[in-house]
Amino acid sequence: MLATTSRLILATLALGAMACGESSDAVSRKDEDTHTGGTPGAGGAQNIGGAADTGGTPVTGGTPTTGGTSGAGGTQNTGGTSATGGTPTTGGTPTTGGTPTTGGTPATGGTLATGGTSGAGGTQDTGGAADTGGTQSSAGEAGAAGTPGTGGVAGIGGTESTGGSSGSGGGPGTGGTPGTGGAPGAGGVEGAPCPDGWTLTWSDEFDGPAGSAVDAAKWNYDYGPNWYNGELQYYSQGTDNAKLDGNGNLVIEARQETREGRQYTSARLKTEGKKTFTYGRFEGRMKLPYGQGLWPAFWLLGAEGGGWPACGEIDIMENLGREPSIAHGTMHGPGYSGASGPTASYTLSGDAKFSDDFHTFAIEWETSEIRWYVDGALYSTKTPADIGGNTWVFTHPFFFILNVAVGGEWPGNPDGTTVFPQTMVVDYVRVCQH
């Protein structure tokens, strides 16, 4: 993380020729008096789930037959083909319409037939096969059953078509193309793990019971008093200051308490000794602490190349608690470290703060280019042209570090306005590669 020129001289003396990957002695920090602002991006596009199927146009059923001249006293049309009539009666007493089946419209008794062959009543529309999510059948029109006989039970159109099973409204939309890593809006649907063209190769979603430690197969700890950059915290291990919350998050907590001569405690986790990475997209989604003296960071440190800064460092995100709306992205190497490290910053729009909600912080690291993103918005690109002819050291494996520092030359120390405890809540850390 950033350092002033005077701090850099002290750190160089302290670090000497230590390798970047030597426990907490690998600490490297930077300071910088000014940062260039970035224009905030609009964030990732929220996946809205696609448009639901509205059910389509209902089927209108079949065209009822007109019947013909009804037979006198024939058998009631049941919805299939009626009896052919038989010998007509000469009048008889008309029925009152019979008892209608449920759902159908009862006949009114009809006109007295003079004889002849009964109308077949047409074939009842059964409603067709139920549409399973496409067009819903509207139950069809009941067959008219012709003019009723003069003594039989009036045809009621047969059994009412049930229309089959109603349409389910269509299958849900597939969600369309996911956003490229942007943070979903409140209550929105989170996008795919990686943008198009990238494949997820490593991640920690921090799932587990509340109060449990991080996955020991993925993370180690730097622990003990921190002697660099004028910081004031003691870094603990285990669940003292870093634990899962049971809701899919890692919580790193900075507290004001004395331990081994330090006035504050916090945690610093790393994948060193577990997993290293060379090139790819590195993204974390997190909500940051706030307040004077707080210094959260999400970064990569070189696992090879000798001591710092020769091993290289890529700060995916650094934030000063006194500037809760600004995120910094910086790279460090031999001849371009500390305040000389190429850097840029991103500022949230309006009065938004990184402590108010979750945001995504990412880099895309290629062979000779590194790009920085906040909420899917590109705000900085660095290449060998930005390091003044010095050596581009971003060609070997690096490992992750997540930490919350307290105090130091760059952020300054906590004061009477600083509220403790403070937390950095991490939803996930993901690596995507081509």
- Based on the domain organization, do 122 and 225 belong to the same domain? no
- Position 281 pLDDT exceeds 60: yes
Which of the following is catalytic: 32, 190, 313, 409?
A: 313
| Residue 401, domain extent | 5-47+180-433
Strand-strand pairing, 233-236 and 262-270: parallel
Maximum average pLDDT range among 72-81, 177-186, 219-228, 341-350? 341-350
- Based on the domain organization, do 291 and 380 belong to the same domain? yes
- Based on the domain organization, do 102 and 78 belong to the same domain? yes
**What's the mean pLDDT in 223-228?**
90
- Position 115 pLDDT exceeds 50: no
- Based on the domain organization, do 289 and 368 belong to the same domain? yes
List the CATH number of the domain containing 364: 2.60.120.200
- Based on the domain organization, do 426 and 392 belong to the same domain? yes
What is the average pLDDT score of the chain?
71
3-state SS of 29-60 is: CEECCCCCCCCCCCCCCCECCCCCCCCCCCEC
3-state SS of the chain is: CEECHHHHHHHHHHHCCCCCCCHHHHCCCEECCCCCCCCCCCCCCCECCCCCCCCCCCECCCCCCCCCCCCCCCCCCCCCCCCCCCCCCCCCCCCCCCCCCCCCCCCCCCCCCCCCCCCCCCCCCCCCCCCCCCCCECCCCCCCCCCCCCCCCCCCCCCCCCCCCCCCCCCCCCCCCCCCCCCCCCCCECCCCCCCCCEEEEEECCCCCCCCCCCCCCCEEECEECCCCCCCEEEECCCCCEEECCCCCEEEEEEEEEECCEEEEEEEEECCCCCCECCEEEEEEEECCCCCCEEEEEEEEECCCCCCCCCCEEEEEECCCCCCCEEEEEEEECCECHHHCCEEEEECCCCCCCCCCCEEEEEEEECCEEEEEECCEEEEEECHHHCCCCCCCCCCCEEEEEEEEECCCCCCCCCCCCCCCEEEEEEEEEEEEC
pLDDT at 227 (0 to 100): 79
What is the token pair recorded at 214?
């991080």
Number of domains in the chain: 2
What is the token pair recorded at 119?
């109308």
Rounded distance, CA 121 to CA 156, Å? 9
- Convert the pLDDT of each residue in 309-362 to its tens digit: 999 999 999 999 999 999 999 999 999 999 999 999 999 999 999 999 999 999
CB neighbourhood size of 238 (10 A): 12
Rounded distance, CA 267 to CA 433, Å? 28
| pLDDT band per the 50, 70, 90 thresholds, residue 19 | low
Rounded distance, CA 149 to CA 14, Å? 110
- Based on the domain organization, do 22 and 162 belong to the same domain? no
- Based on the domain organization, do 326 and 365 belong to the same domain? yes
CB neighbourhood size of 17 (10 A): 7
Which of the following is catalytic: 32, 160, 253, 318?
A: 318
- Convert the pLDDT of each residue in 325-336 to its tens digit: 999 999 999 999
- Based on the domain organization, do 29 and 112 belong to the same domain? no
- Based on the domain organization, do 85 and 133 belong to the same domain? yes
Last residue of a domain, one of 172, 191, 207: 172
Q: Is the dihedral of CA 16, 306, 400, 347 positive or negative?
A: positive
**What's the mean pLDDT in 13-42?**
41
Rounded distance, CA 35 to CA 344, Å? 6
**What's the mean pLDDT in 15-36?**
43
160 is catalytic: no
Rounded distance, CA 182 to CA 375, Å? 4
- Based on the domain organization, do 392 and 407 belong to the same domain? yes
**What's the mean pLDDT in 406-414?**
97
- Based on the domain organization, do 23 and 78 belong to the same domain? no
Last residue of a domain, one of 143, 172, 201: 172
Amino acid at 312: G
Rounded distance, CA 265 to CA 245, Å? 19
318 is catalytic: yes
For 423, phi then psi, to 5°, come to -130, 145
- Position 274 pLDDT exceeds 90: yes
